[in-house]
Amino acid sequence: MNFSTRAIHVGQEPDQETGAVNVPVYLTSTYAQESVGVVKFADYGRGDNPTRAALEAVTASLEEAQFAVAYSSGLAATDSMLRTLSPGDRVTLSSDAYGGTYRMLTKIFGPWGIETDVVDLSDIDAVESSWHDGTKLVWAETPSNPWLRIADIAALAGVAHRHGAQLVIDNTFATPYLQTPLTLGADVVMHSTTKYLGGHSDAIGGMLVTNDAQLAARLKFFQYAVGAIPGPLDCYLIMRGIRTLAVRMDRHQANAAQVAHMLAQHEKIERVWYPGLETHPNHKVALDQMRGFGGMVSVEVAGGAAGAKAFVEKTKVFTLAESLGGVESLIELPAQMTHMSTSGSLLEIPENLVRLSVGIEDADDLLEDLRQALS
C-alpha cells in the first residue's frame, strides 16, 4: 500500500464488534482478567492500550519500520532512548538542535555520566575528525531546528556504524512523508508527534521507531517501567492528524516555498534558511534524501534583536507562539523562546533569527501578513 492508504488504514480497521470506522478511544486504566493472570489484551493500561497500539502500528508503517513505541511527549521519547546508554558513554549532538534536547543531555544525563559533544553534523569530515572513543550515539535533527541544516543520513550512518555507534534521527520537521531515515541507514527515528504528525496543535506526544527487535523490546520495557505514556485521547488525536499528513504536508511546503521566495527578495531580510532554496548550503543533500523541503522557514532579520522583535509582534495571521507543525501559521524568536536553554552554549541562536512554521492557510494572506509586519 502507498503512503496515504497506510496512513488511513494501518492499525485502523473498522471495529470488529460494532463496525465503527474510527479506532475507539479506550479510556481504561485496567482490564478484566478471565482468571488470575489470564488476560485478553493486557493487564494494565500503563503497559498497553488499544488506541495507543493503533497509533504505534500506523507510525511504524509510515516510517517503514517494524516497531514503534509511543510516549507522552517528544522529550519523553528522547529520555527513553538516552536511558539505553550507560555512565561513561558519549553522545554526538547536532550543533543545531531543539533546545530541550540539549538541555536534557547536559542537565539531566550530564550529571549521570553521559558526555555530549556538539558537532556540525552537516559536515561529515567534522563528525569523523571529532569522534571520541566511547561515543555510542549520534543524535541528528535533519532538517535541524531552527537553522534547517540538512545532515546526510546515509553518510552519518556510515560513520556511526564504522565506530560501532547508533544513529538516531529526529524526524519531527520532515515527517515520514518527506523522509524515511531508517531506509537510509539510521537505527532509530524519534518524533515529537506534537508537531506535524498530530498537526492541529491540540496534543503533546512522542515516538521512537526502529527495526531493531532487541532495542524495541528494551524501549517497550522502559515505556512500561518508567510510565511516560500518552493518554488514549491524545493517541486518537495524533492518529487522526496522521490520516491527513500527506495533504497537509503538500500544502505546508507549497506555502513555505512561496514565503521563502518572497522573504528572500525582501529588503528587511538579511538571509533566508529554507532547504528548498538553491542558496541553502545543503540544498543538494536535501534534494537527494528528501521528497520535499517541508513547511519550516527561518530568517535573519535586519535591525538585530529589535528588528526581529518588531517583526514577530506585528504579524496578525501568524500567531506569536512556540511549537510548529499545526495547520495554523506560527512565528517565534528562538533565542528568547524555544532555544533559550542554549544561551551561552555552542548552540546559541542569534537574536535576529526568526522561525516560521508556515501553516495551510491561503498563501496570499500569509504573504500579505508578513509584508505588513515588516513594513
Taking CB under 6 A as the rule, does residue 74 contact ligand PLP?
Answer: yes
Site for ligand PLP in 312-341 (CB under 6 A): 323
Taking CB under 6 A as the rule, does residue 98 contact ligand PLP?
Answer: yes
Taking CB under 6 A as the rule, does residue 145 contact ligand PLP?
Answer: yes
Beta-bridge mates of residue 208: 69, 190
Q: Which of 100, 231, 276, 294 binds ligand PLP (CB under 6 A)?
A: 100
Please report which helix (H) or strand (E) contains residue 369, including its range: helix 363-374
User: Binders of ligand PLP: how many residues, by CB under 6 A?
Assistant: 15
CB-CB contact of 194 with 323 (8 Å): yes
Q: Which of 135, 166, 175, 192 binds ligand PLP (CB under 6 A)?
A: 192
Closest separation in Å from C-beta 342 to ligand PLP: 13
Nearer to ligand PLP, 114 or 203 (CB): 203
Closest separation in Å from C-beta 174 to ligand PLP: 10
Other beta carbons less than 10 A from residue 86's beta carbon: 10
Q: What share of the chain is helix, strand, coil (3-state, %, to 5)?
A: 40, 15, 45
Nearer to ligand PLP, 230 or 307 (CB): 230
Instruction: Quote the CA–CA distance of 121 and 125 in Å, as a whole number.
Output: 9
Considering only 41-49, 67-75, 82-90, 147-155, which stretch makes contact with ligand PLP by CB under 6 A?
67-75
Site for ligand PLP in 198-227 (CB under 6 A): 204, 206
Active site residues: 46, 98, 170, 195
Nearer to ligand PLP, 118 or 374 (CB): 118
Nearer to ligand PLP, 6 or 240 (CB): 240
Considering only 93-101, 149-157, 289-297, 351-359, which stretch makes contact with ligand PLP by CB under 6 A?
93-101
Residues 6+ away with beta carbon under 8 Å from 61: 6, 10, 11
Closest separation in Å from C-beta 194 to ligand PLP: 4
Considering only 4-12, 68-76, 110-118, 123-131, which stretch makes contact with ligand PLP by CB under 6 A?
68-76
Taking CB under 6 A as the rule, does residue 179 contact ligand PLP?
Answer: no
Closest separation in Å from C-beta 69 to ligand PLP: 15
Instruction: Quote the CA–CA distance of 54 and 69 in Å, as a whole number.
Output: 11
Taking CB under 6 A as the rule, does residue 73 contact ligand PLP?
Answer: yes
Residues 28-58, buried b or exposed e (16+ Cβ, 10 A)?
Answer: eeebeeeeeeeeeebeebbbbbbbbbbbbbb
* Residue 166 three-state SS: strand
CB-CB contact of 55 with 70 (8 Å): yes
Residues 6+ away with beta carbon under 8 Å from 123: none
Q: Which of 170, 234, 332, 369 binds ligand PLP (CB under 6 A)?
A: 170
Taking CB under 6 A as the rule, does residue 75 contact ligand PLP?
Answer: yes
CB-CB contact of 228 with 76 (8 Å): yes
Q: Which of 59, 172, 223, 315 binds ligand PLP (CB under 6 A)?
A: 172
Instruction: Quote the CA–CA distance of 375 and 311 in Å, as a whole number.
Output: 9
Instruction: Quote the CA–CA distance of 48 and 39 in Å, as a whole number.
Output: 12
Rg (CA), the chain: 21
Instruction: Quote the CA–CA distance of 192 and 303 in Å, as a whole number.
Output: 33
Q: Kindly list the residues in this chain that would bind ligand PLP in the complex (CB under 6 A).
A: 73-75, 98, 100-101, 141, 145, 170, 172, 192, 194, 204, 206, 323
